[in-house]
């Protein structure tokens, strides 16, 4: 393997071989390199004109010199092109404003991520307090997770409660999938978290332990189905109403009332159905 490597080196880059002394143990490779040198010398004698043994060194130096000169020439040419363009702009431009060519600022510098900017403006509009964002922010220890029972109050219609079995985090399009029961039939509802139609999202009950899945689709199976969450929600609403009244209901009065009203509505509906 060592020989193969060395021969590859001789073939590919002489500079490497020269800078690091070839291993004395690999005598065969040395021989090979000598042969290659001899061949190279016979093929390109003009590179080996001065000096005997140190000719390859000179060759490299020559090559480097050529490269340097090439780069210099290139740079000069580029500089000439730039100055030619600037000069041409000054002399033949239609509008005289361009006498001082002002380079417009790249818009990517002002706004590197336009989608994020649009999303941010939408979030500012639909979630001005940032409460929803915090509720579904993974860094927040109090955030809602899959397995929690969530209650979604809507602008129109009754609130819907169910086990959150999926959180789809997509900026302004963030949505939750709630699984509950209506008329004893399992129902799953997607809600866009930032939709103006969603007035409030409340955590009714936390999961007993953290779910070990991102999506609890196994809950659709009969064995794992949580069934109706009605009782849990009723207890929660009653407790909340009690707390609201105990605290005096100055600050939270409106919210509590709303929640109570929602709860009452739900209660009525349930009554009808039964």
Partner 1 sequence: MRPMAPLNWGLLPPSFLLPSSTRSLLSLISLSAAPSHTTIRTIKSVNTPRPDRFAHHPKKPALNSTSRAALARKVATTPLRTGLLAQKCGMTAVFDPETGKRTACTVLQLDRNEIVAHKTREKNGYWAVQIGAGSKLIENTSKPMLGHFAVAGVEPKRWIMEFKVRGKEGLGLPVGQTVGASWFSVGQWVDVKGISRGMGFEGGMKRHGFSGQPASHGQSLMHRGMGSAGGSQGSGSRVLPGKRMAGNMGNESVTVKNLKVLQVDEVNGIVVVNGCVPGPKNQIIKVQDAIGKPWPAGPMKLDEIIPASIGPAAAASPA
Give which of 163, 169, 209 is closest to 188, Cα–Cα: 163
Across-strand partners of 154? 198
Interface residue with partner 1, options 34, 69, 81, 169 (CB under 8 A) = 81
Q: Interhelix angle for 2-12 vs 27-43, to 10°? A: 20
Work out whether 101 is an interface residue with partner 1 (CB under 8 A): yes
Work out whether 155 is an interface residue with partner 1 (CB under 8 A): yes
CB 177 to partner 1: min, Å: 16
Work out whether 72 is an interface residue with partner 1 (CB under 8 A): no
CB 111 to partner 1: min, Å: 4
Work out whether 185 is an interface residue with partner 1 (CB under 8 A): no
Of 109 and 274, CB closest to partner 1: 109
Work out whether 95 is an interface residue with partner 1 (CB under 8 A): yes
Q: Which residues contact 225 (CB under 8 A, 6 or more apart)?
A: 179, 186, 219
CB 128 to partner 1: min, Å: 11
**DSSP symbol at 137:** -
Q: Interhelix angle for 253-273 vs 230-246, to 10°? A: 150
CB atoms within 10 A of CB 217: 14
Site size for partner 1 (CB under 8 A)? 42
Work out whether 129 is an interface residue with partner 1 (CB under 8 A): no
Residues 28-57 that bind partner 1 (CB under 8 A): none
Distance CA 154, CA 163 (A): 17
CB 231 to partner 1: min, Å: 31
Give which of 172, 191, 168, 197 is closest to 118, Cα–Cα: 172
Binding mask 189-208 for partner 1 (x = CB under 8 A): ---x-xxxx-----------
Distance CA 132, CA 163 (A): 18
Interface residue with partner 1, options 8, 39, 67, 98 (CB under 8 A) = 98
CB 226 to partner 1: min, Å: 29
Residue reference for tokens 């969530």: 150
In degrees and rounded to multiples of 5, residue 211 shows phi and psi of -70, 145
CB 89 to partner 1: min, Å: 4
Work out whether 126 is an interface residue with partner 1 (CB under 8 A): yes
Stretch that binds partner 1, among 7-15, 46-54, 93-101, 249-257 (CB under 8 A): 93-101
What single string gives the DSSP state of each residue in 188-252? EEEEETT-TTEEEEEEEE--SS--SSSS-GGGGSTTT-----HHHHHHHHHHHHHHHHHTTSSSS
- Contact residues: partner 1, CB under 8 A: 78, 81-82, 84-85, 88-89, 92-95, 97-98, 101, 103-108, 110-111, 113-115, 117-119, 121-122, 124-126, 155, 171-173, 192, 194-197
């Amino acid at each position: 393997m060592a020989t193969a490597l060395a021969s590859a080196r001789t073939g590919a880059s002489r500079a490497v071989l020269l800078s690091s002394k070839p291993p004395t143990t690999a005598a065969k490779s040395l021989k090979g390199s000598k042969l290659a040198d001899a061949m190279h010398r016979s093929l390109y004698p003009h590179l080996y004109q001065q000096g005997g043994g140190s000719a390859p060194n000179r060759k490299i130096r020559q090559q480097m010199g050529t490269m340097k000169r090439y780069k210099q020439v290139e740079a000069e040419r580029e500089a000439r092109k730039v100055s030619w363009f600037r000069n041409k702009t000054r002399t033949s431009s239609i509008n005289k404003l361009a006498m001082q060519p002002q380079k417009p600022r790249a818009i990517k510098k002002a706004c590197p991520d336009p989608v994020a900017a649009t999303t941010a403006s939408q979030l500012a509009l639909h979630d001005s307090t940032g409460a929803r964002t915090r509720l579904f922010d993974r860094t927040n220890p109090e955030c809602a997770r899959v397995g929690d029972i969530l209650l979604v109050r809507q602008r129109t219609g009754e609130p819907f409660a169910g086990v959150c079995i999926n959180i789809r985090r997509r900026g302004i399009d963030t949505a939750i999938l709630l699984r509950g029961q209506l008329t004893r039939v399992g129902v799953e509802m997607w809600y866009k978290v930032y939709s103006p139609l969603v007035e409030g999202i409340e955590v009714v009950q936390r999961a007993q332990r953290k779910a070990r899945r991102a999506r609890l689709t196994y809950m659709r199976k009969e064995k794992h189905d949580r069934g109706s969450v009605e009782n849990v929600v009723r207890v929660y609403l009653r407790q909340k109403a009690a707390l609201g009244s105990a605290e005096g209901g100055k600050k939270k009065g409106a919210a509590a009332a709303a929640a109570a009203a929602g709860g009452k509505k739900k209660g009525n509906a349930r009554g009808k159905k039964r």
